[in-house]
Structures are given as structure tokens and as C-alpha cells.
Amino acid sequence: MCQSEARRGPELSAAKWLHFPQLALRRRLGQLSCMSRPALKLRSWPLTVLYYLLPFGALRPLSRVGWRPVSRVALYKSVPTRLLSRAWGRLNQVELPHWLRRPVYSLYIWTFGVNMKEAAVEDLHHYRNLSEFFRRKLKPQARPVCGVHCVISPSDGKILNFGQVKNSEVEQVKGVTYSLESFLGPRTSVEDLPFPPAASCNSFRSQLVTREGNELYHCVIYLAPGDYHCFHSPTDWTVSHRRHFPGSLMSVNPGMARWIKELFCHNERVVLTGDWKHGFFSLTAVGATNVGSIRIYFDRDLHTNSPRYSKGSYNDFSFVTQANREGIPMRKGEHLGEFNLGSTIVLIFEAPKDFDFKLKAGQKIRFGEALGSL
């Protein structure tokens, strides 16, 4: 009896020693649960980062005492991407010494596969800073504009998705959708627009279709850091309205687009809407990490990536005035705007039912090549 008690003595003491950290952690977690949400998120950050970085699930035993790591998506959304993008933008404006330009730009060219033979100026010493290099122009013959097809690619990039818009939901990548109304924002009053809806309908998609028998189509083009960063008019159309959504500046690469639902609705974007010969037409430039700067050449009042903004807010501007009743006419292939690095272009437009895309998902495309035709 004494021997069994003697044997159980060390076991009890060991069990007590093992239970002590759990009790202490439970008390600590109880204190954390009483904290405000911002403070709780701040205190959970270090453990969460370690949870995902350390090998072999080193911190998984913490789950036994009630602790749960912040999700990867929530963790990524907490990164101050707007602040980082503004800092990157200022760094891009710093003039590089003449001797440093070639090695810096050569490293970028090698990393992202940039074809400098297409650049209007091939001499790397010509570009005073990274911003000028990112926004380099192309030789006129480098991107011939297709004259046969009615809609061309507005930029270089990769086709992420395309097709008809169904149930007011649009695919950002295969299997991951976002709301059309959340992306474009609520429709402005019918009186202010040159394209009244074909019929009154509760569906947001149907509100955008202006002619009987037409369908609504979409196309998503991802611009990688090594791509040509300017974008052009994809067709002959008239821009009547601009809506600017301040927002996050998360990465929009295809992997991230599969990971975060409604990514394009969270990010800062500039929506240009108007009409073409078949009805409603829109082009949206979506910002991304280090791409807070979105420039529209004819819109001098547009300022993106401001330090402060209200979540969910947007700013409207109409190009239809007393002096200009039609808006801004754009010709197919005409310069429209530019990004600082890479990002995403989303086209949403209506066309007759026999509109046919000349694309494959995942294919590389260049500005001026055909997107589709009737």
C-alpha cells in the first residue's frame, strides 16, 4: 500500500505540474476575453503569427485550453497595406543615382521577365526612378490594335475569368464570386444616365441591361508586375460617370483571389461607366498592394490611396455637364489610364446574345488583341 502511494506520489506531482500551465493559460485567456476587440486582436497577433510559422504544430497544444488562432484571411486583412503602398509610392519617386539604375532595373527585368525591346526607350539610364520605369511607354508598333473585333484587351495581362453575368454574381476566379452591386455600387438615378433600363426589375443585373434581348458579360484581366502598366479604351464608347471606392489594397494575384471572397469589392477601385453601341459599358481599375495610385488621364479630380477614408464610402463624379451633354468619348485603343506596378481590370458590359469571347481562361493576352466580337 505504501509502495503504491509512493509510486502515485510522483505521478500526482507530475500531473499537477502539467495542469498548472493549462490553469494559468485559462486564466490568461479569460482576461483576454474581457478585453476590447482591437486590444484582443493586438494581443493575439504574436501567438497567431508563431502558430502559422513554427513547424510541426508547435503551438497546437494551446487549442486544448480554448485558444484559437486568428484566421489567415483576417490576419492578412490586418496588415496596413494602404500605409505600405503609400510608403512604396514615395520610395518609387526617389531619384536613383545614374550608376545604380542599370543594376536595379536589370534585377527587376530578370525577376519579372520584362521585355525591354518593346519599350519606347530601351536605355535603362533614361528612367530616373522606379515610378518612371514602371510606367514606361511602348513603341507604337509593339501593340497593333485589332480592327476586326469590336472589343479588344485594354491591357497586357492574364485572363482570370470571362462569360455571362448570372444571378447578379460575377466570378473573380473559377468558383469564387462577388456581388455585382457591391462591386459597382448602387445605381445612380435613372434621370442622370443616358442608358435607362429596358424594363423595371428588382434584379441589379437587369437594371444594367438597356435593350431587350441583350445579355450582361464580364471579363477579368490580371496585370502582373512585369506587364505593361498602362490601360486603354477597349472599344468605342462614351464615359459618363466615375465612381471611386476607397478601400483596402490587398494583393489581387490569382492565388489571393481564390483565397479571399469578394476581394475586388474590398479593394480600392475606380469604376468608369457609360455606353457603347450595344448599351451599358463599364471599365473598373482595381488597386492592389503597392498599387494605390490609379490614374485616369482625363480625370484630374481623381485622388486615390488617401490616408483616411470611411469604410464602404464612395465618391461620384459625372462627366455629363450643361456644356457637355454626352460625356467623354473614347476611341478603341486610346490611352485611358495607368497603374503604378500591376493590378486588375474588370470589364462589365451588355451585348447581344450572339456575342462571342475569343478567349481561354488562364491565357496571356496583350493590349490590342481581340477579346470578343459579334
Determine whether 335 is an active site residue: no
Measure the CA–CA gap between 274 and 281, rounded to whole angstroms: 5
Q: Which of 218, 232, 266, 278 is the catalytic position?
A: 232
Residue from 364, 369, 338, 372 nearest 115 by CA: 364
Q: Tell whether the torsion through CA atoms of 250, 252, 256 and 261 is positive or negative.
A: positive
Q: Which of 156, 227, 275, 299 is the catalytic position?
A: 156
Measure the CA–CA gap between 97 and 249, rounded to whole angstroms: 30
Structure letter (DSSP) for residue 144: P
Contact between 293 and 340 (Cβ < 8 Å): yes
Residue 275's Cβ-side half-sphere holds a number of Cα atoms within 13 Å equal to 15
Q: Which of 240, 248, 293, 343 is the catalytic position?
A: 343
44-to-78, 142, 308 alpha-carbon distances in Å: 12, 52, 26
Query: Which pLDDT tens digits describe the chain residue by residue (374 residues)?
Result: 445 444 445 544 444 444 445 445 444 444 444 444 444 444 455 555 555 454 545 545 555 545 455 555 566 666 776 777 677 778 878 899 999 999 999 998 999 889 999 999 999 999 998 888 888 889 888 888 988 888 999 999 999 889 998 887 877 666 677 788 888 988 765 434 445 554 444 578 788 888 888 999 999 998 888 888 899 999 999 999 999 998 777 777 666 677 677 777 888 889 999 999 999 999 999 887 765 578 899 998 888 877 777 777 888 999 988 777 788 999 999 999 988 766 889 999 999 999 999 888 889 999 999 998 88
pTM of the model: 0.77
Q: Tell whether the torsion through CA atoms of 97, 100, 104 and 110 is positive or negative.
A: positive
Phi, psi (deg, nearest 5) at residue 261? -70, 145
Phi, psi (deg, nearest 5) at residue 279? 125, -140
Determine whether 241 is an active site residue: no
Q: Which three cell numbers stand for residue 171?
A: 466570378
